[in-house]
């Protein structure tokens, strides 16, 4: 079993994850705090003042706030930017009662190509596999969360991938139960990280891996509620999620980003 924390992505992203991991040891039992292994955040604007998100962004490099109503996004952006922070946001898309049925129908209708082998990350998954996951997600400008979260060591989670005979990983997806049991959203799981190697795009790999993850989260952990963040205008992601029964909500995830510690201005695509 891996004893040291695994960080991924660019040097700036790895430094962010290292700070997040250290702070997580202090805040893991706080119902106001959420994470799936990328950044720490607030479960909603109501659980803590804006100053707490500002402080976490300055300390770690980035911090999120979930469940910001669309009518309040502009004001929160302005307040964070007045503190010298950069801002980013994603629309909260939520699963429906049909999502698991649609995911299983997708898996039954069309298998992966014959040359691809499906794998699931666990506590003993070799570091070479994790490096392959890091490579394919970086190609897609998607941030692979901290190793303990992907391995299911911190929260109920599933991370699925497919590999070619050479061992090259060409697709990935993941889900993590993100909210504290004492929060207002127990059992709500982040889902996403849909990534496909450029050489294998057009085969439906990402959507099938996403379906695998939804199915496994339900079978292994009994999870039924999922959400994902989609940047406004990301039509391909919207189409894929619609096919799996997800739909937009009036809420956004708002990120505060320190412009010095995270000069790129983003945590993930």
Express each pLDDT in 90-134 by its tens digit.
999 999 999 999 999 999 998 999 999 999 999 999 999 999 999
According to the model, what pLDDT value does residue 79 have? 99
Is 268 a domain residue?
no
Is 123 a domain residue?
yes
Is 108 a domain residue?
yes
Q: Averaged over 180-194, what is the pLDDT?
A: 98
263 pLDDT band, cuts 50/70/90, is confident
According to the model, what pLDDT value does residue 171 have? 99
* CATH of residue 40: 3.40.630.30
268 pLDDT band, cuts 50/70/90, is confident
Whole-model pTM: value is 0.96
**Over 80: is that where the pLDDT of 139 sits?**
yes
Is 4 a domain residue?
no
According to the model, what pLDDT value does residue 2 have? 42
Domain that holds residue 116: 11-257
1 pLDDT band, cuts 50/70/90, is very low
SS (H, E, C) the chain: CCCCCCCCCCHHHHHHHHHHHHHHHHHCCCCCEECCCCCCEECCHHHCCHHHHHHHHHHHCEEEEEEEEHHHHHHHHHHHHHCCCEEEEEEEEECCCCHHHHHHHHHHHCCCCCCCEEEECCCCCCHHHHHHHHHHHHHCCCCCCCHHHHCCCCCCEEEEEEECCCCCEEEEEEEEECCCCCCCCCCEEEEEEEEECHHHCCCCHHHHHHHHHHHHHHHHHCCCEEEEEECCCCHHHHHHHHHCCCEEEEEEEEEEECCCCCCCCCCCC
Is 66 a domain residue?
yes
Q: Averaged over 139-160, what is the pLDDT?
A: 98
Q: Averaged over 223-246, what is the pLDDT?
A: 97
According to the model, what pLDDT value does residue 231 have? 95
Is 267 a domain residue?
no
**Over 60: is that where the pLDDT of 193 sits?**
yes
Number of domains in the chain: 1
Is 156 a domain residue?
yes
């Amino acid at each position: 079993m891996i004893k040291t924390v695994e960080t991924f992505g660019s040097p700036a992203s790895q430094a962010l994850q290292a700070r997040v991991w250290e702070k997580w040891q202090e805040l893991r039992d706080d119902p106001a705090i959420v994470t799936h292994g990328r950044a720490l955040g607030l479960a909603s604007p109501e659980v803590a003042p804006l100053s707490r998100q500002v402080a976490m962004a300055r300390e770690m490099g980035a911090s999120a706030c979930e469940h910001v109503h669309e009518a309040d996004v502009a004001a929160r952006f302005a307040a964070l930017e007045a503190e010298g922070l950069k801002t980013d946001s994603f629309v909260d898309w939520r699963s429906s009662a049909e999502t698991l049925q649609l995911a299983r129908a997708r898996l039954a209708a069309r298998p992966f190509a014959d040359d691809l082998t499906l794998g699931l990350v666990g506590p003993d998954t070799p570091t070479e596999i994790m490096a392959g996951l890091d490579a394919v997600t970086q190609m897609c400008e998607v941030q692979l969360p901290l190793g303990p979260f992907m391995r299911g060591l911190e929260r109920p989670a599933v991370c699925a991938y497919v590999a070619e005979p050479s061992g090259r990983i060409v697709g990935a997806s993941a889900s993590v139960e993100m909210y504290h049991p004492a929060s207002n959203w127990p059992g709500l799981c982040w889902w996403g990280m849909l990534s496909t190697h450029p050489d294998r795009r057009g085969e439906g790999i990402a959507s099938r891996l996403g379906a695998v993850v939804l199915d496994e989260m339900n079978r292994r952990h009994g999870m039924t509620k999922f959400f994902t963040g989609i940047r406004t205008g990301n039509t391909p992601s919207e189409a894929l999620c619609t096919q799996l029964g997800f739909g937009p909500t009036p809420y956004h995830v708002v990120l505060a980003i320190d412009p010095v510690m995270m000069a790129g201005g983003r945590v993930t695509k």
